[in-house]
Amino acid sequence: MSDDARTYHRARLIFAAATVLAGVGVLALGVRATALLPPPAPRRWIDLAGIVAVEAALLGAARELVTAPLTVAGGYWLPRRFGLLHQPWRRWLLDRAKATLIRAGLGLLAFEILYALLWVAPLWWLAAAVVFFAGDVLRVAVAPIWLMPLFHHLTPLQDRTLSERLTALAERARVPVLGVWVGDQSRKSRTANGTVTGIGRTRRMVLWDTLLRFPPAEIEFVLAHELGHHAHGDVRRILLLRGALLLAKFWIADRLLALGVAWWGWRGIADPAGLPWLALVLLGLGLAAAPLVNAYSRRIERQADDFALATTGNVAAFVGAIERLAALNLADRRPSRLEEWLLYTHPSIERRLARHAPRSRGPATAETPPSG
């Protein structure tokens, strides 16, 4: 196991934790600020929408400002230092600007919807769970056609032999897909990946061009794993889990907004003075639910590996692909149990290998024969 990978992951974790803490700090200050200087009482819904927009914009801008140095350090400086990123500064900044704008737009929309529902619906939390669940489904459906093209230039795979091999694989897995596409990741980074993205008529295979440098059998394994997710209905399973969590999250938020009314004397739960508190509560609940979502994710990742091996029957390609991906992406092969449990959406490299190819584990864990 390389020390580089460990150092990189430690640093990344520290930057990520600092970013979360900074976000919490900004929202806590927002709670304090609205207690000292409450926003005016809205008479009509349109006034409420205006106040919510101003509050959300102020909080969002403050958060961006405070976390900007961490974003640059953790997203640009760190991966560049470890050879994972070679995208020029201006291109990187443009990508970040796009991502920030999308996040800001969606964040604003989310709070406008929440306050509109808080304004009109006694069971706002139930309505909010339904609306946000629908939004989640829509996001998954449009990801390959609207979101991915914003960050990668996607073209149909030119290599006919590989294209036919992967299409045949999808047929064997009984997962209908709309062609094989290639994204120009190599312009940004050496990291490799492949995915089957979208649902229904937007579902397609997308390979980063960095993955095309792998032997065909290994590319086939990566895509077989991805097809496994679709064969098992994992997109639906994750959407349903997230939907159930949305329901729980908004219900708890409803209770905590009522507490806020009692603590800070707001004019009801729809009072926009409660917005920073609501944002803080939702952030906290999201963080609290993450280990549960991650545990479920690791489970379906194991199942996707099982499916890929059952479909391809090629253990050597499995080991080759995992090793190559781990090296390219500078994976921490064996994080601590706690780290894996809290943060990992996939089982660690060592665990994935040990499950199917116990004897091919990396040198770090290879048992030395007893001497003498």
Q: Which positions lie near Zn ion, rule CB under 5 A? A: 301, 304
Distance CA 306, CA 63 (A): 42
CB of 309 to Zn ion, least distance (A): 13
Strands 180-183 and 204-208: parallel
- Taking the least distance from each CB to Zn ion, the nearer of 231 and 278 is 231
Q: Pseudo-torsion of CA 247, 34, 49, 54, nearest 10°?
A: -120
- Taking the least distance from each CB to Zn ion, the nearer of 182 and 235 is 235
Distance CA 75, CA 69 (A): 10
- Side-chain half-sphere of 246: how many Cα atoms within 13 Å? 22
In the chain, the amino acid numbered 296 is Y
Q: Give the distance between the most distant pair of CA atoms in the chain.
A: 86
CB of 345 to Zn ion, least distance (A): 8
Distance CA 269, CA 256 (A): 9
102 within 8 A of 216, measured Cβ to Cβ: no
- Taking the least distance from each CB to Zn ion, the nearer of 277 and 307 is 307
- Taking the least distance from each CB to Zn ion, the nearer of 245 and 304 is 304
Question: How far, CA to CA in Å, does 328 sit from each of 120, 221, 312?
Answer: 52, 17, 23
- Taking the least distance from each CB to Zn ion, the nearer of 19 and 348 is 348
Those residues with Cβ within 8 angstroms of residue 43's Cβ, 6 or more apart along the chain or in another chain: none
- Taking the least distance from each CB to Zn ion, the nearer of 63 and 298 is 298
156: left (phi over 0), alpha (psi -120 to 50) or beta: beta
- Taking the least distance from each CB to Zn ion, the nearer of 212 and 304 is 304
CB of 322 to Zn ion, least distance (A): 12
CB of 366 to Zn ion, least distance (A): 26
In the chain, the amino acid numbered 115 is Y
